[in-house]
């Protein structure tokens, strides 16, 4: 089974070494270290975990990390003021506003205030538009990470049928664009599926590469797949489990046990896509510090 696993931890570690080497070169040339900031509103546990992981990853590669922690009741005006401050701070190369935001804040409206040149999460409409056109931009971190996972695992995607489950603006939709565009690592034929898709099982059965980002625990079963499909599981869920000392187990959108004998390659949960999301954020921050795009 181990030869089938796409080890996101190992690939992320290799990329971190590459980033650390570039950062060291900058510092040796008397240039400042790249600086990544995060704005965290409220105390959502998953967001806290992600921001803590980002801070650790920055430290590993020599990137400066700053976190702005704001109260749950922070107003739109107050949040926009912080964003404008970061937009105009020459010491900060890129920053993220951690999602989800509290329900009284409009995420789309907030994200539009981030200057595209500092939008290292790749969510600003200008970066999304440039991605659509195949122009240089900051790519959304999770889709960027998935493409890098496939590339470094030597998964051939040119001309392959890639089925993406889930059409979110954070994962499914941008990923469908990246995989289908005319590029050195693209040219897949992509089917983007969602809650209104008819004959979903028939479409999944046709996939050479299946990317599950549907947000439903263990939705994909082994009997839904054709032999030797490549499966990328973007989902992560906590399932109550009394037998586990933590009281829960982590699982993805794929039923790993029923799928593992059918696939040629598969990402585990945890340890697959997750580590790559943070590494992609670091790669975007490094690019921002070197003004490679804007």
Domain holding 101: CATH number?
3.40.50.10860
Residue 186 lies in a domain: yes
Structure tokens at 150: 């496939």
- The whole-angstrom separation of Cα 132 and Cα 126 is 10
Cα dihedral: 163, 164, 167, 171 (round 10): -150
Structure tokens at 92: 């900060």
Residue 167 lies in a domain: yes
Same domain, 147 and 45: no
Same domain, 167 and 248: yes
Contact in structure between 122 and 175 (CB atoms under 8 Å):
no
Same domain, 146 and 225: yes
Residue 18 lies in a domain: no
pLDDT, tens digit, for every residue of 163-198?
999 999 999 999 999 999 998 899 999 999 999 999
Residue 5 lies in a domain: no
Same domain, 189 and 96: no
Contact in structure between 231 and 266 (CB atoms under 8 Å):
yes
Same domain, 260 and 165: yes
- Please list the pLDDT of the chain residue by residue as tens digits (294 residues): 678 999 999 999 999 999 999 999 999 999 999 999 999 999 988 899 899 999 999 999 999 999 999 999 999 999 999 999 999 999 999 999 999 999 999 999 999 999 999 999 999 999 999 999 999 999 999 999 999 999 999 999 999 999 999 999 999 999 999 999 998 899 999 999 999 999 999 999 999 999 999 999 999 999 999 999 999 999 999 888 888 888 888 999 999 999 999 999 999 999 999 999 999 999 999 999 999 898
Where does a domain end: 100, 115, 130? 115
Give the domain extent around 52: 29-115
pLDDT, tens digit, for every residue of 135-154?
999 999 999 999 999 999 99
Answer yes or no: pTM beyond 0.85.
yes
pLDDT reported for residue 247: 86
Nearest to 266 by CA among 3, 11, 9, 13: 3
Residue 87 lies in a domain: yes
Same domain, 89 and 212: no
Residue 35 lies in a domain: yes
Residue 130 lies in a domain: no
- Name the domain count of the chain: 2
Same domain, 199 and 253: yes
Residue 2 lies in a domain: no
CATH code of residue 268: 3.40.50.720
Same domain, 264 and 147: yes
Catalytic residue annotation: 54, 98, 121
């Amino acid at each position: 089974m181990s030869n089938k696993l796409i080890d996101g931890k190992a690939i992320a570690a290799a990329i971190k070494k590459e980033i650390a080497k570039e950062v060291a070169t900058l510092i040796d040339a008397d240039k400042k270290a790249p600086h990544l900031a995060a704005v965290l509103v409220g105390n959502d546990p998953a967001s806290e975990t992600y921001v803590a992981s980002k801070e650790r990853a920055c430290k590993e590669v020599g990137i400066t990390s700053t976190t702005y922690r704001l109260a749950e009741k922070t107003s739109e005006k107050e949040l926009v003021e912080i964003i404008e401050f970061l937009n105009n701070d020459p010491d900060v190369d890129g920053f993220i506003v951690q999602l989800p935001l509290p329900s009284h804040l409009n995420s789309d409206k907030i994200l539009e205030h981030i200057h595209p040149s500092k939008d290292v999460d790749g969510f600003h409409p200008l970066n999304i538009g440039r991605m659509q056109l195949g122009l240089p931009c900051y790519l959304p971190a999770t889709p960027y990470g998935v493409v890098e996972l496939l590339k470094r695992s030597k998964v051939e995607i040119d001309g392959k049928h890639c089925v993406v489950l889930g059409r979110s603006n954070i994962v499914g939709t941008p990923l469908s664009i990246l995989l289908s565009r005319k590029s050195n690592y693209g040219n897949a034929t992509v089917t983007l599926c969602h809650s209104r898709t008819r004959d979903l099982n028939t479409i999944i059965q046709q996939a050479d590469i299946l990317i599950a980002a549907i947000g439903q625990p263990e939705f994909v079963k082994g009997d839904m797949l054709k032999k030797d499909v490549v499966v990328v599981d973007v989902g992560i869920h906590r399932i109550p489990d009394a037998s586990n000392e933590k009281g829960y187990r982590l699982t993805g959108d794929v039923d790993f046990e029923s799928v593992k004998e059918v696939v040629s390659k598969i990402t585990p949960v945890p340890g697959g896509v997750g580590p790559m999301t943070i590494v992609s954020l670091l790669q975007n921050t490094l690019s921002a510090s070197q003004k490679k795009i804007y």
